[in-house]
Amino acid sequence: MPSNDLTLAISLRALDRLARPKRAFDDAVTWTSHIGIISSEPSFIERRRVREAGYQQDFLSGPRTIEEALASVRKHFETQRYVFVGIDEPSRARETVPGWTFQPVTDAAAAADWRVGTTPSAEDEWP
């Protein structure tokens, strides 16, 4: 059985690929120790999007690169595992930020039973 002692960082671009990103995020909160958003977008855009979506995260990347944000998160949250869910952000992060496992959003979605897509139908949003 996998450990829930996990810090999960999800890129905004990866969340955009999910059919129901808020539900996926809320689901991940139940099986992680710490969860947050990592983005290369300017801080004001990142914060606005997170606020509008209603994500209740433990951290944001702030005004820094993805690599700097992941290194900072690792220093502040001590867990057994660190996973970064993204799209194509990992190439440099994998090389420069030790200790993080990159998971493509499609693989993470399959493992967590999240739907990949861009536009949910009215039927999908039904409680």
Tell me the pLDDT tens digit for each residue of 65-87.
888 999 999 999 999 999 999 98
Q: What's the mean pLDDT in 39-43? A: 86
Largest interatomic CA distance in the chain: 43
Give the CA angle between residues 83, 115, 44 to the nearest 5°.
60
If 0-12 CB within 10 Å is exposed, 13-18 middle and 19+ buried, where does residue 104 land? Answer: middle
Q: pLDDT confidence of 2, banded at 50, 70, 90?
A: low
Which pLDDT value is given to residue 31? 95
User: Rounded CA gap, 75 and 73, in Å?
Assistant: 5
Mean pLDDT of the chain: 85
Q: pLDDT confidence of 3, banded at 50, 70, 90?
A: low
Domain annotation for the chain: domains and CATH numbers = 6-110 (3.40.50.1000)
Write the pLDDT tens digit of every residue in 11-40.
998 999 999 999 999 999 999 999 999 988
Give the CA angle between residues 122, 9, 125 to the nearest 5°.
10
Q: pLDDT confidence of 91, banded at 50, 70, 90?
A: low
Q: 84 or 120, which is more confident?
A: 84
